[in-house]
Amino acid sequence: MTDAVIRPLHAPPPRLMRPSAAMFALYVGAGAFFVFSLYGSDMSLSKLVDGLPNMFRLIGEMFPPSFARIQSIAGAMLETFQMAFAGTVIGVILSVPLAILAARSLSPHPALYYAARWLIALFRTVPDLVWALFFVVTVGLGPFAGMLTLVVDAIGFCGRFFAEAMEETDKGPQEALSALGAGRSEVVFSAVLPAALPSMINSSLFTLEKATRASVVLGLVGAGGIGIELKVAMDLFQYEQAATIIISVFLLVLLVERLSSSLRRLILK
């Protein structure tokens, strides 16, 4: 009796799909542009290796941290979080009606749909520091300019994700309410928003984390917060105080991220 050779009925699919000619050309073009970008970025390993002793020297001068101005730093940290929290809350509230207009299935008119989309794209694509400069010129130096900047940033971030969350909701309940004679606003508040709420809460909490980190940088252009304290410490070569500020920023961002994660688990479970 001879052993039967067991052959698979169907050959297994290849691990990697063979790309088409167009995709292969796209990969080659992306790789070539990556190499070109390294050249344009003036990448130099020798500069990095030669500069490492300066980095270690700076870190050595930062320790031990100085707590001589801890009260002033604590006040600036509180101001930083106040900017982030207030800007996020206002931005999230303003994002909801704008997101409704930016959702294709909910917008009452194509002109409003495209206008809302373009406005959200504008808020999202212009860098935070540029908005901060605009608001510093408008309302002057201080945390109000930073808060307005974070409001715009939150609208640009939440407006997009809120609109996508609304568009991805189940259309069945919406069609049922419409068949019963419900108006557009009744469909939005009774079917769309409740279904999209978990995703919107998730995006809002991520926005708070993002705003906390961004608010630190805004102080560099005079928009309030701890950033100006860090800039002054570095300009005056007070590296021990700069280390205290950096550690404080790290602890604040870490605390906000931990609280945000805990709230997401509590609300979305």
In the chain, domain spans:
70-268
Fold of 70-268: MetI-like fold (1.10.3720)
Assess whether pLDDT exceeds 60 at residue 35: yes
Q: What is the pLDDT of residue 1?
A: 47
Which position has the higher pLDDT, 182 or 208? Answer: 208
Q: What is the pLDDT of residue 60?
A: 84
128, burial (CB in 10 Å: exposed 0-12, middle 13-18, buried 19+): buried
User: How confident is the model over 94-108, as a mean pLDDT?
Assistant: 87
What's the one-letter identity of residue 254? L
> Rounded distance, CA 98 to CA 191, Å?
18
Assess whether pLDDT exceeds 70 at residue 45: yes
pLDDT band at 91 (very low <50, low <70, confident <90, very high): very high
User: How confident is the model over 128-137, as a mean pLDDT?
Assistant: 89
110, burial (CB in 10 Å: exposed 0-12, middle 13-18, buried 19+): exposed
User: Tokens 């982030």 map to which residue?
Assistant: 84
> Rounded distance, CA 96 to CA 162, Å?
7
